[in-house]
């Protein structure tokens, strides 16, 4: 299928831009773009630079006509272990205004991932903790191998999982979110699957194949339909039923006017007549 995505190495990737210190790498195979958090010695922990790079990458790729699917992964054995210790020590000295600015920076990154116009697959192995778990949760689909560990560990050290909670509750509901956020416990991939946090779990040697399978499946779907469907899910999930149906009617009408729909319909009719 996508041979260059199977087990591709970091040497095939490049920094997002010339000013990057290579903490975020990009590789492209046709319509599928893979973004790699590239701080393996620090378990791909987050600092201001990486947060900014992720935000910019998703904002740019979201409007890139050549990109149909985005895969987000971590270099080495882990996905992302949250905020880097030195970064946490730095922000502990911030005042209220500085903390609001910094918190907004993190929230903007998660929104860029969640609202990206292209489907986003989180490819998770090893640790996905705290903010790293939040990043995975902001993606559309989470595919993990059995080495993966998920946890919102903030309350263990006096922090509050405030921003990531908004995304977690939308994904798994209040009951499961209360469990994970209050206990700060770390769960394995199979429990994460049972709780609805993760979509698919495979053996480590099957992770590449499974992610490639889904990336290929998504890349074959209509780009405009995927974008409209992502918006639809995001918006109606917070609406009462009547409002959701009214909005869905408008989206349905809009979709019928797209070139993708018209060409797809012609293809179906042609097959039926043959």
d(CA 187, CA 210): 21
Indicate if 154 belongs to the active site. yes
* Residue of 13, 66, 90, 154 with catalytic role: 154
Specify whether the CB–CB gap between 59 and 17 falls below 8 A.
no
Residues identified as active-site: 154
């Amino acid at each position: 299928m996508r041979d260059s995505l199977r087990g591709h190495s970091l040497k095939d990737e490049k920094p997002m831009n010339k000013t990057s210190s290579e903490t975020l790498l990009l590789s492209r195979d046709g319509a599928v773009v893979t973004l790699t958090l590239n701080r393996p010695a620090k378990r791909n922990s987050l600092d201001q630079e990486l947060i900014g790079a992720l935000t910019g990458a998703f904002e740019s790729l979201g409007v890139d006509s050549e990109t149909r699917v985005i895969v987000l992964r971590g270099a080495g054995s882990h996905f992302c272990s949250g905020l880097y210790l030195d970064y946490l020590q730095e922000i502990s000295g911030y005042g209220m205004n500085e903390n609001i600015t910094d918190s907004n920076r993190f929230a903007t990154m998660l929104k860029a991932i969640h609202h990206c116009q292209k489907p986003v697959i989180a490819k998770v192995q090893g640790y996905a903790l705290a903010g790293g778990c939040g990043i995975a949760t902001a993606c559309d689909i989470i595919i993990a191998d059995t080495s993966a560990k998920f946890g919102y560990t903030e309350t263990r050290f006096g922090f509050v999982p405030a921003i990531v909670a908004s995304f977690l509750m939308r994904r798994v509901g209040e009951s499961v979110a209360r469990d994970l956020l209050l206990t700060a416990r770390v769960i394995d991939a199979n429990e994460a699957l049972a709780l609805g946090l993760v979509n698919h779990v495979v053996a480590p040697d099957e992770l590449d194949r499974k992610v490639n399978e889904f990336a290929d499946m998504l890349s074959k779907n209509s780009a405009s339909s995927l974008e409209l469907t992502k918006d639809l899910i995001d918006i109606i999930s917070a609406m009462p039923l009547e409002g959701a149906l009214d909005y869905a009617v408008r989206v349905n009408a809009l979709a019928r006017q797209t070139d993708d729909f018209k060409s797809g319909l012609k293809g179906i009719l042609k097959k039926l007549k043959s």
